[in-house]
Amino acid sequence: MEEASSIRHPRISGKANNQPYGVSYEGVALPFTMAGAEELADVVGDLLDSPGGKLLLDIKTHLRKRLNLLAFVFGLVFVLCFPFTSAFISWLIDPSRLPLDVNIIVITPVEFILLQVKLAAYCAAAAVTLLMLCEGAWRGSKNPALKERMQELKANAPRPSASLVFTALSSLMLALLGIAYAWNLLTPMLLEYLTNDAQGAGLSTEWRLSSYVGFITNLAVASALGFQAPVATLMVLRLQVISRAGVKGYRRHIWFSAFVLGAFLSPPDPLSLFLVAMPVILLFEAALIIDAMTRKDSLSQ
């Protein structure tokens, strides 16, 4: 009986001045109120009825309809790319592309085949992403929810024109330039530096295959994305999302973001971080100069 009497029963706690009530177990109040739930539902409903909410719903519906197509494209590109991954890996680990006294090893029986699967999956994912971007750009220009959202942001939606084609080609060329920068400058410099550093400490340099390929791939992807800085900057300025003076006001934040992006995308060493972040900063500054030289309207000042 003493045990039963020691059990603390739920009690109602709260204030009488229209504050929400709650159940308290061991002194912890758990609020429950229909008014709060209705208020939350109203807020969610308002968000979904806004242009941004309608746009998200349209994207969700479209992705559901295109799920089978995207899965087919992913599988097709995966099957087509998989046979070439072995030759690509062999090309990467050719002794002429490695520093002196460096050996590439595998430490598990399935490491090589798993690396092939990963590379083919990357290619398939890139193809699906490109398809989604192209279809999104085409359908987005006709989507009323997107037009309303752009009007809310007081931005001008891009229209199919020669300048849009030039922007797409520039983005592709900058991506290729970034990959070339990573392959011809970043990768040899970093591999030589890291190898000499390890050998100078009396260590043998044997690199795991998946780590070596991942190192090169991460550098290439980071450089390709980082080299998009001028395209992104000019698009933001030309769409009048923000003025040039506003961009300059956030210059320090953008520089810091470039180093953060480099930290996430580059290998974990300070030299890689610096070599990935600096081109992004330089290209960003070049985009500001180009915009100042080619556009003199008052909105950009």
| pLDDT tens figures, 245-297 | 888 877 888 888 888 877 776 656 677 778 778 888 888 888 888 888 877 65
Residue 32 shares a structural domain with residue 58: no
CA neighbor of 262 nearest in space, from 165, 197, 168, 190: 190
Q: Residue 161: inside a domain, yes or no? A: no
Q: Residue 164: inside a domain, yes or no? A: no
Residue 131 shares a structural domain with residue 23: no
pLDDT in tens, 173-231: 999 999 999 888 888 888 888 888 888 888 888 899 999 998 888 888 888 888 888 88
Residue 143 shares a structural domain with residue 214: no
pLDDT in tens, 146-182: 556 556 555 555 555 566 677 778 888 999 999 999 8
pTM given for the model:
0.65
For residue 40 the two structure tokens come to 């939350």
Residue 137 shares a structural domain with residue 200: no
Q: Residue 265: inside a domain, yes or no? A: yes
CA distances from 64 to 57, 59, 68, 202 (A): 11, 9, 8, 56
CA distances from 209 to 89, 102, 106, 179, 247 (A): 9, 12, 6, 20, 42
Residues in CB range of 301: below 8 A, 6 or more apart: 243, 244, 245
Range of 79's domain? Answer: 50-152
Residue 144 shares a structural domain with residue 255: no
Residue 67 shares a structural domain with residue 115: yes
pLDDT in tens, 8-39: 444 444 444 444 444 444 444 445 455 556 66
Number of domains in the chain: 3
